[in-house]
Amino acid sequence: MHSVGRAPIRTLAGLWVLTIAAGAKAGAGEGPWIRVNQVGYLPGDPKIALLSSDRPVQGKFAVGDQTAPIGPDQGAWGPFAHNYRLDFSTLRRPGRYRVRFEQVESPPFAIGADAYATVPKALLEFLALQRCGTNPVTGRLCHQQDAIDTTSGARVDLVGGWHDAADRLKHMITTSYCVAALFLAGSDAARAEARYGAQLVRKLHPAPGVLYVQIGDDRDHRGPASLWHDDRSDYGFGPGGPRSAWRATGRPEGPKYHNQSTGLASLAGRCAAAMALAGDREAARALYRLAQDHPGCAMSVPVLAPYYYGESTDLDDLEWGAVELFLATRERPYLEQAIAYADRAGDNPWMGRDRHGHYEFFPYVNLAHWRLYPHVDPATQVRLAGYYRSGLERIRARAERNPYRIGTPMVWCSTNDVIAFATQARLYELMTGDSRYRGLAAEARDWIFGRNPWGVSFVIGVPESGSFPRHPHHLFARLANRLPRGGLVDGPVSREINKGLKYSDFGADRLAHFQSDAAVYHDLYEDFSTNEPIIDGTVSLLLLVSLWDQPAGS
């Protein structure tokens, strides 16, 4: 994700507008503060709120008509000197609740089988706003001249897909994943959005050896900033003219700064999975062959700034392409190849680390292991489950060192890692029936929806009455006074990373009391490293929500 330019605020005629108002103040002073999942909990979920304070406290807390001791002080972490874990998991009765301690109350939340009923719709609203080509939210066309091949100079049809984050460019690294994951999310609405993105993925491999990794680039960051349909970026063909189509060549690319691409398989394998799920077997076969012929990783292309998506793993994508082709065709060689790639991919190497590169291990959870599991022999199932369990154990060891039970690194787009852990834990339970990680998965999910030091849900507009980003780094918020509802923001990063990505003054910070060296988050437009909504994270959260209450064996 990159910063976008600044421009005077304008309004957009005909667009439904959600006024950006000041959010509820998170509070300052010595506390205490109560942090909860502001969306809520399914009846059978673990339910643990955090009581955090600058001073030691003691006594009882209450939820509804239930009371219990706050329990032992868990010690200092992040911005707080004292933390207490308030467990009310036995409360299963449907209703609206608050957690209370002395004169302090949490935001309201729901308990019930329908607690998350409205969340998928909000997440899909964000994808609809991000559509490139034909946009159902604005009712306007955009980027109809996409694109010109930077290698051959030829015009190619790459209209469609989604704009990436707050930018107007399109990354096929994330688009390919979003298409596949939306199909797996299962609902009719998610599949409809997947089919829109699939139309672009079909166009990415128009000739032997050709695969496009990116449409446009960070030249769209030059002013003046504008909405999708008003884009006047100049890619060498005049303001508002055709945009660049960058090929994945398998070599380092970029006119000034260079990525470290080594092959095509990471992108081609994921595109093959997406096309198999979309029902286009011919395209899936061609893309899978391309992946096999060109092992290695395709990375996005930097132009004005040195940032790019530096993916480093391709075996998970080859496995995903193979297993989806097997499920689509029932041809045995694809199954055998999927098993071979699965054993080479193993577990997820980022899990347990303090830090990793930007999109280095995207998409952070190997969904192919889950897709493959029901179709292999018991010995292979044991290995696949073991790959998941190894990573989960490393995260568990980290999470149990702090009261918020967060075990993923505070890197750029940290919410991706949090959701990936929760998803992998949920998939492990669905595959094996082993529920040992369910509690930690719930606490990771709860972090996303407000049970974090800042008391902010990282999903814009969710829940509607909660504390969520009011000043996200997004063009529609900046220029049209319209919050991009349903978008998951990057989330907190370490202070060190945040300083390294600071290009403008942040100004007044209403969350200043809750910042620490461990992690910072700013609900400010200027902070693109923590407050920019992302399409891939939003889709990952949609998949997690869809998986949460599925029965084991699904």
Compute mean pLDDT per 10 residues along the chain, 554 residues long, and list them.
33 31 46 97 97 96 97 97 98 97 97 97 98 96 97 97 94 98 97 98 97 96 88 93 97 95 98 98 98 98 93 97 98 98 97 96 98 98 98 98 97 97 98 97 98 98 97 94 96 93 86 95 95 98 94 61
Residue 389 identity: R
Evaluate whether 418 touches 406 at the Cβ level (below 8 Å).
yes
For residues 410, 171, 534 and 240, what is the CA-based torsion angle, rounded to 10 degrees?
130
**How many domains is the chain partitioned into structurally?**
1
Q: What's the Cα-to-Cα distance from 412 to each of 323, 408, 409, 534, rounded to whole Å?
A: 30, 12, 9, 11
Q: Which residues of 372-407 are buried (b: 16+ CB within 10 A; e: fewer)?
A: bbeebeeeebeebbebbbebbebbbebbeebbbbbb
Q: Determine the structural domain holding residue 123 and report its residue range.
A: 119-402+414-448
- Assign residue 6 a region: left if phi > 0, alpha if psi is -120 to 50, beta otherwise? beta
CA distances from 297 to 10, 72, 97, 549 (A): 41, 48, 48, 34
Task: Give the span between the Cα atoms of 120 and 305, in whole angstroms.
Answer: 34
Q: What is the pLDDT of residues 306-354, one digit of tens each?
A: 989 999 999 999 999 999 999 999 999 999 999 999 999 999 999 999 9
Instruction: Tell me the Cα Rg of the chain.
Output: 23
Tokens of 536: 């891939």
Query: Residue 549: inside a domain, yes or no?
Result: no
Helix (H, G, I), strand (E, B) or coil at 131: strand
So what's the pLDDT on residue 21? 33
Which pTM value belongs to this model? 0.94
Give the whole-angstrom CA distance, residue 369 versus residue 372. 5
Residue 288 included in any domain: yes
- Over 503-530, what HEC string results? CCCCCCCCCHHHCCCCCECCCCCCCCCC
The CA angle 250-182-12, to the nearest 5 degrees, is 95
User: What's the pLDDT at 502?
Assistant: 84
Instruction: With H, G, I as helix, E, B as strand and everything else as coil, classify residue 80.
Output: strand
- The CA distance from 86 to 401, in Å, is 17
In a domain, 151, yes or no: yes
Q: Which amino acid is at 133?
A: G
Looking at this protein, which amino acid is placed at residue 529? S
What residue type is assigned to position 218 of the chain? Answer: D
Tokens of 284: 């899936």
Residues 24, 29, 33, 37, Cα dihedral to 10°: 40
Calpha distance 228→117 (Å, rounded) = 30
Question: Could you give the angle at the alpha carbon of 448 between the alpha carbons of 181 and 544, nearest 5°?
Answer: 25
Contact 89, 417 (CB under 8 A): no
pLDDT value for 554: 54
CA atoms within 13 A on the CB side of 442: 21
The pLDDT of residue 320 is 98
User: What does each C-alpha distance from 423 to 85, 146, 207 come to in angstroms?
Assistant: 23, 35, 36
Tens digits of residue pLDDT in 509-541 = 999 999 999 999 999 999 999 999 999 999 999
Sole residue written with tokens 């978008």: 487
Looking at residue 224, what is its pLDDT?
83
Distance CA 533, CA 475 (A): 11
Greatest pairwise CA separation for the chain in angstroms: 71
Q: Which DSSP state fits 107?
A: P
Q: Does residue 495 lie within any of the structural domains?
A: no
Q: By the 8 A CB rule, do 507 and 398 touch?
A: no
DSSP E strands: which ranges in 237-343? 244-247
pLDDT, tens digit, for every residue of 350-402?
999 999 999 999 999 999 999 999 999 999 999 999 999 999 999 999 999 99
Structural domain contains residue 502? no
Q: What's the CATH number where 309 sits? A: 1.50.10.10
Q: Is residue 45 situated within a structural domain?
A: no
In a domain, 41, yes or no: no
In this prediction, residue 2 carries a pLDDT of 44
DSSP 143-180: -TT--EETTT--B-----SB--TTSSSEEHHHHHHHHH
72 domain residue, yes or no = no
- pLDDT for the residue 552: 64
